[in-house]
A and B are shown apart, each in its own frame.
Chain A
C-alpha cells in the first residue's frame, strides 16, 4: 500500500522526464529556451561545489525565520486565548494581513533593514507566522471543556491544565500550521533574496536567468522544491514522533 503510493507518482515523474528528454532532443530545442533533464543534471554536476553555499545561506534564513514565526505565532495564539478582547481585536487583522502581497513588502524591508540577513528572515517569518498563529489559536479553542472540567474536579492548577490538556490538544492543529509554514518557508527566503542579496538560492536564480543559463535556472528551481519537500517531511516525521496517538486514531477510522 505504502510502496504503491510512492511508486505510482514516481513512475509518472520518470515517464514525464523521458518524454521531455526525447521531445527536446527530437525537436532540437535550444538549451537556453528549454534544457533537457540531462542538461539540467549536468549543470548541477558542474556547479555542485558552488551551489552549496547558496543552499546553506537560504536554509539559515529559513531556520531563523521559522523559529521566530513559531515563537511569535504560538505567543500570539496564547495571548488571544487569554483575552477574548485581544482575540476580537487581532484575529480579523491577522486574516486581513494575508491580503497584503509579501512580495511587494520585500523591497521595503531592504530599505529599512539593508542587504543583510534580516529582511530575508523577516519575509520568511511573514510567510510562516500566519498559518502557525491561526492554527494554534484554533487548536486552543478546540480544547474539550469537559476534559478541563475533569481536571478542575481533580484539583488541577491552571499551569497543569495547560501542560497536560490544552497544549497536547492543540498539537495536531499546530503541526498542520507548521507543515504549511515549512512548505512556504523556502519560497519566502527566495523572495527575500530576490530583491537583493549576496548569497542564497534566490539571488543565484536571478543571476542565472540574467545570464540565460536556463539549465541552471531549472536546477535551482528543482533544489528549491526539493528543500521544501524535505522540510515538509521533516515536520511530518517529528509530528509522528511526538503525537503517535493522533496517527493511531486516524488509522483507526
Chain B
C-alpha cells in the first residue's frame, strides 16, 4: 500500500520577487514522482546541490512546491501548514538545542504536539538504551561525541513522528568508522519499528546497504534518473558490500549518477 505519494513535484528558487536580487532562477527539484509503501526504507542519492534537501523540505512543510502534489495516506496535503507535524524531519545540519539536556531534546516533538511532558520523558527513557544514550539523559549536547549527537537527533525524530521519517544525510558529517557503526546500528533498530523512512545520502554504499529502494537523482535540476529496488537479503552486515549482488547494483547506480 502506498503511504506517501509524491506526484510531479517541482520547485525553483530565485527569479523576480524572491529577494535573491540577481534574478537568476535555480531549478532545484524538477518533476519528481515516487511513492513509498508503509514500512519501506527509501534512500535517495545524488550529487551535491541537486535538490535532495529541497525535496525533504517540501515534504516537511518548510517550502511550497511550484507544482505537483504530496499525498499522504490518500489525502493531498496542499498547504505547508498541513504537512508540518506530519513527518519526522531531521535537518542536514546538527540541530540539538544546546540549552536542553539530551532528555529534554529528544522529547521536543512530543512536547510540541501538546502531550504530557512526564509521559514523553518516560517514553524517551525507555528508548535511550537502544539509542546508546543510557546515562546521558542529563548531559548537555556539547558533552556528546558526534555519533551520539546524531543518535540523539535520530531518537528525537523517531519520537516526533508517527510513521514517516525524513532523514537528511544523518551520517554525512561523521567519520567513516563511526558512520559504519551507526549504519549497522540503524539496520538493527529499523527491524524493531514500523517506520517508513526517506533517507538522503551522498554515499552509494550507504544508500544500497540501508535501503529497500534507492532513488538516483540527476545533477541539478534534480530529477529521478533511476528507481532501483535493492533486493539484497536481510540481515545485512559488514560483508554485504562485498557480495556480487551489491556490486552489480552499485555499478548500475553509478551508471545513472553519471559522475
Contacts and interface: CB of A to CB of B under 8 A. Distances in A.
B112 interface: yes
B142 A150 contact: no
Interface in B71-102: 84-87, 89, 91-93, 95, 97-100
A94 interface: no
A246 B92 CA distance: 24
Interface in A147-164: 147, 149-156, 160, 164
Q: Chain B: interface residue count, which band?
A: 20 to 34
Interface on chain A toward B: helix, strand, loop, or mixed SS? helix
Interface string A162-194: 001100110100000000000000000000000
A144 interface: yes
Contacts of B84: 152-155
Interface residues of A, number: 24
A153 B60 contact: yes
B109 interface: yes
Contacts of A248: 140, 142-143
A146 interface: yes
* Most chain B C-beta atoms within 10 Å of own C-beta, residue among A154, A164, A244: A154
A152 B61 CA distance: 8
Interface in A204-253: 243-246, 248-249, 252
A246 B99 CA distance: 7
A153 B61 contact: yes
A151 to B, nearest CB: 7
Given A146-B91, A149-B91, A252 B142 contact: yes
Contact of A146 (B87, B95, B98, B109): B95
A153 B62 contact: yes
A164 B95 CA distance: 13
A154 B57 CA distance: 12
B70 interface: no
Contacts, number: 65
Given A155-B85, A248-B142, A249-B142, A168 B97 contact: yes
A154 B112 contact: yes
Contacts of B87: 153
A121 B6 CA distance: 62
B91 A150 contact: yes
A181 B93 CA distance: 35
A150 B95 contact: yes
Nearest to A157: B112
Interface in B101-120: 108-109, 112-113
Nearest to B139: A248
Interface string A134-151: 000000000010110111
B142 A155 contact: no
Contacts of B182: none
A216 B84 CA distance: 67
B9 interface: no
Contacts of A171: 99
A32 B220 CA distance: 82
* Most chain A C-beta atoms within 10 Å of own C-beta, residue among B86, B87, B109: B109
Interface in A2-58: none
Contacts of B61: 152-153
Interface string B153-187: 00000001000000000000000000000000000
B154 to A, nearest CB: 13
Interface of B: 57, 60-62, 84-87, 89, 91-93, 95, 97-100, 108-109, 112-113, 140, 142-143, 160
Given A152-B62, A245-B140, A252-B142, 20 more contacts: A144-B95, A146-B93, A147-B95, A149-B60, A149-B62, A152-B61, A153-B60, A153-B61, A154-B89, A154-B109, A154-B113, A155-B84, A155-B85, A155-B86, A155-B113, A160-B112, A244-B140, A245-B98, A249-B140, A252-B143
Interface of A: 144, 146-147, 149-156, 160, 164-165, 168-169, 171, 243-246, 248-249, 252
5 contacts: A146-B91, A154-B109, A165-B97, A243-B99, A245-B98
